[in-house]
Chain A
Amino acid sequence: MAINNFKNLEFSVSLFYAMQKDNLSYVYRGFFNQQITDSILSLTEVNLKTEEHSSKMKKRVYAIMVEGLQNITRHQNDTAKISNNNTHGLFIIKRNEEKYYITTGNATEKTSIPVITKLIEKINSLNNEELKDYYKQVLSDGELSKKGGAGLGLIDMARKSGNKLSYRFVDLNKDDTYFYLHTIPALEDITISDFNKIAKESLDNIIEIHKTLNNEDIKLIYNGVMNQESLKGLLQTIEGHLTEEPDQKNKMFYIVMEMLQNIVKHASNPNNEEGGNPGIFFISDKDGKHLLTAGNYIKNENANELTNKINNVNKLTEEEIFKFYDESLFNFDIDDTKKAGLGIIDLKIKSKNQIGHFLKKIDDNYSFFSLQVQI
């Protein structure tokens, strides 16, 4: 009898609910490199294309992301004297009610607090014209940053956003602090005090989320529409993970590919969202294992069949499952139907583990379905 030991699957539902009001949220926590940066940019671009209709806003968001991601890549190893689970670099973009919230985070030594604070306060005190002049001045002096350009990056982010930069330092230990930089690209007609209020609340919220990310050791969350393009973007992120053993990375690639393609092809889209089916996908680590979790809507009428199918696959012995795989592989009659289920069989074979699943009824028509694979 299969024992389902995926106790935290309910977590995927609560995570989805927490993010549901956002049209898009993407979280990456870990090591940053060029490939990761590129994948985050292309993934966001896909969403910007379908969801954002103002081309000015698209450009702003994109430009801020480029600078922000460069900043983390440059400063992620800056420095915390003690590295642990809480010192990973962080990137979060959220879109909610037409507003974008872009946050980057990295650990740094407390000694750098005055330098960064002074720089950001200076930037925030300048208007657009003054910022332009200041940019030129820094460019010609080049005195601000030993690493070349960090100061420029911040000035540029402020210019591109059309808003003040929000930031916060949260102590990690006696030597180290965590630096959050939070940007909300231009909101029209808003007073400074209103803006400060929005920025403070949203940054408080991000810092709370970050605690959960650290506690659950979540490396990545994608919440948004799933289509072939976002699938490719997420796969690129998996490939960019330099920390993985190659064999493990390949395995992860296969599994993520099947899980996401399931959503692209089979998930329901209750509110007829543009560009794809809504879903959530996240990667977390637990006891040295990777947990890959995907969640999406399904029609209640299909819930039983899906649950039975997975339970059935979970019960099979290794020998039986290979036999079942071969049968399904050569069963071309069910090519076009959703019954094929080869993907689910393959998930079990590749992960060599039970497949976790969790169903939560939403209303008379739809349920939220989560699938979890452990490697």
Chain B
Amino acid sequence: MNSLLLEKTSDTPYVCLDSENEMFKISERSLPENAIDFFKPIINWFAEYSKQPNNQTTINFELEYFNTSSAKQIAKILLIIQEMAKTNEVIIKWHYSKNDLDMKESGIRFSKLINANFEFIETK
């Protein structure tokens, strides 16, 4: 399936969703004025991918900041992943800076609400 690649901007994240090369990553900042519009293609991509996922999928969330409207959209993505995790092996790697305990806390909250395999990775 087609990959989805979005370069980062000052308020939207870098997105790389590439099933062929097994690269799944959302990083940098997400504080768009309209999170619903921004995330729509990403959510659609995951919905499509979840129909025929790879045997194993590792998704990296390496966000520096995200706003609450992005949090809702991330929740939508995670719900799709949760469905996928019922039949396929999925790992969600949640990266957070050691200086940003709120980001760690956000990830932990998601992991309690979503039935999928979370790994937490502390970075500088």
Set of chain A residues within 8 Å of B113, measured between Cβ atoms: 326, 329-330
Say whether, besides A325-B109, A332-B76, A343 and B99 are in contact (CB < 8 Å). Answer: no
A342 to B109, CA, bound (A): 14
Q: Which residues of A contact B117 (CB under 8 A)?
A: none
Q: Are B75 and A343 in contact (CB under 8 A)?
A: no
Residue total for B at the interface (Cβ-Cβ under 8 A): 23
A-B CB contact pairs (8 Å), 24 listed: A228-B11, A231-B31, A232-B10, A235-B31, A247-B99, A247-B101, A250-B100, A257-B65, A257-B67, A265-B33, A326-B113, A329-B71, A329-B72, A330-B75, A330-B113, A332-B76, A335-B36, A340-B69, A340-B72, A342-B68, A342-B72, A343-B68, A346-B68, A350-B102
In the complex, chain A residues 250-299 whose Cβ is within 8 Å of any chain B Cβ: 250-251, 253-254, 257-258, 261, 264-265
Contact A258 B109, beta carbon cutoff 8 Å = no
**Cβ–Cβ contact B33 & A342, under 8 A:** no
One of B75, B99, B109 near A250 (C-beta < 8 A):
B99
Q: Is the interface of A mostly helix, strand, loop or mixed?
A: helix
Tell whether, in the assembled complex, residue B100 and residue A258 are in contact, meaning their CB atoms are under 8 Å apart. no
List B contacts of A322 (CB < 8 A).
Answer: 109
Q: How far is the CA of A231 from the CA of B69 in the complex (A)?
A: 15
A336 at the interface (CB under 8 A from B): yes
**Are B99's CB and A258's CB within 8 A?**
no
CB within 8 Å of A: which B36-75 residues = 36, 65, 67-69, 71-72, 75
Measured CB to CB, the residues of A under 8 A from B are: 228, 231-232, 235, 246-247, 249-251, 253-254, 257-258, 261, 264-265, 322, 325-326, 329-330, 332, 335-336, 340, 342-343, 345-346, 350
B47 to chain A, nearest CB (A): 14
The reply to whether A264 and B33 contact each other, CB–CB distance below 8 Å, is yes
Could you say which residues of chain B place their CB within 8 Å of the CB of A325? Answer: 109
Task: Given contacts A250-B97, A261-B33, A342-B68, list 19 more A-B pairs with CB under 8 A.
Answer: A246-B97, A250-B100, A250-B102, A250-B103, A253-B65, A254-B65, A254-B102, A257-B65, A261-B31, A261-B67, A261-B69, A265-B33, A322-B109, A329-B75, A329-B113, A330-B79, A335-B36, A340-B69, A343-B69
